[in-house]
Amino acid sequence: MKDFATLINALDSTNKTSLKQEAIIEFLKVASSRDKMWFLALFTGKKPKRNINSSFMKIWAMEVAQIPEWLFVESYSSVGDLGETISLILPPPKKSIEISLSDWMQKIIDLKDKTDEEKKEFVLNAWDSLDNVERFIFNKLLGGSFRIGVSSKALINTLAKFYKMDPSAVAHSIMGHWKPEEVDFESLIKGEYTDTNLSKPYPFCLAYALEKELQDLGATEDWLVEYKWDGIRGQFIKRDGEVFIWSRGEELVTDHFPEIRDELLQWKGNFVIDGEILAFKDHRVLNFNELQKRLNRKNLSKKMLDEIPIVVFTYDLLEFENEDFRDHSMKERRFQLQKVLEMNPSEKIKISEEIVFENWNQLPDIRENAREINSEGLMLKNYHSPYHTGRKKGDWWKWKIDPLTLDAVLIYAQKGSGRRSGYYTDYTFAVKKEGKLVTIAKAYSGLTDKEIQEVSKFISKNVVEKFGPVRTVKPELVFELAFEGIGFSSRHKSGVALRFPRILRWRKDKKVDEIDDIEDIKKLIV
Residues 270 and 240 sit within 8 Å (Cβ to Cβ): yes
**Residue 277, burial from CB neighbour count under 10 angstroms (0-12, 13-18, 19+):** buried
Q: b vs e for 369-380, b when ≥16 Cβ sit within 10 Å of the residue's Cβ?
A: ebbeebbbbbbb
Q: Residue 489's closest CA among 429, 441, 436, 431? A: 441
pLDDT at 7: 87
- Using a 10 angstrom Cβ sphere, with 0-12 exposed, 13-18 middle and 19 or more buried, the burial of residue 436 is exposed
pLDDT of residue 301: 86
* DSSP result, 412-476: EEEE--GGGTTSEEEEEEEEEETTEEEEEEEE--S--HHHHHHHHHHHHHSEEEEETTEEEE-S-
At 508 the three-state DSSP class reads coil
| Alpha-carbon distances of 508 from 65, 448, 455, 460, rounded to whole Å | 49, 15, 11, 18
CB atoms within 10 A of CB 194: 16
Per-residue pLDDT, 74: 86
CB of 348 within 8 A of CB of 311?
yes
Measured distance CA(437)–CA(494) in Å, rounded:
9
Residue 522 to residue 83: CA distance in whole angstroms: 40
Per the rule left: phi > 0, alpha: psi between -120 and 50, beta: everything else, 329 is beta
pLDDT at position 242 is 92
350: annotated active-site residue = no
* pLDDT per residue rounded down to tens, the chain (526 residues): 788 888 888 887 777 888 889 999 999 999 999 999 988 888 877 777 778 888 899 999 999 999 999 999 888 877 777 888 899 999 999 988 888 888 988 898 888 888 999 999 999 999 999 888 888 888 888 876 666 677 777 888 899 999 998 887 887 788 666 788 888 898 888 878 776 678 888 889 999 999 999 999 999 999 999 999 999 999 999 999 999 999 987 788 898 899 999 999 999 999 999 999 999 999 999 988 888 888 767 678 888 899 999 999 999 999 999 999 999 999 999 999 999 999 999 999 999 999 999 999 999 999 999 988 999 999 999 999 999 988 889 999 999 998 899 999 999 999 886 666 678 999 999 999 998 999 999 998 889 989 999 999 999 999 999 887 889 999 999 999 999 888 888 878 888 989 889 999 999 989 999 999 999 999 888 6
Contact (Cβ atoms closer than 8 angstroms) between residue 255 and residue 408:
no
Choosing from 20, 36, 228, 432, which is the catalytic residue? 228
Q: Which domains does the chain have, with CATH numbers?
A: 2-143 (1.10.3260.10), 205-400 (3.30.470.30), 404-522 (2.40.50.140)
β-pairing, 424-433 vs 436-443, is antiparallel
CA 68 from centroid of its chain's CA atoms: 40
Please tell me the pTM assigned to this model: 0.63
Helix (H, G, I), strand (E, B) or coil at 382: strand
* pLDDT score for 416: 80
Measured in whole angstroms, how far is the alpha carbon of residue 444 from the centre of its chain? 16
Using DSSP, state whether 66 is helix, strand or coil: coil
Backbone angles phi, psi at 271, to 5 degrees: -165, 165
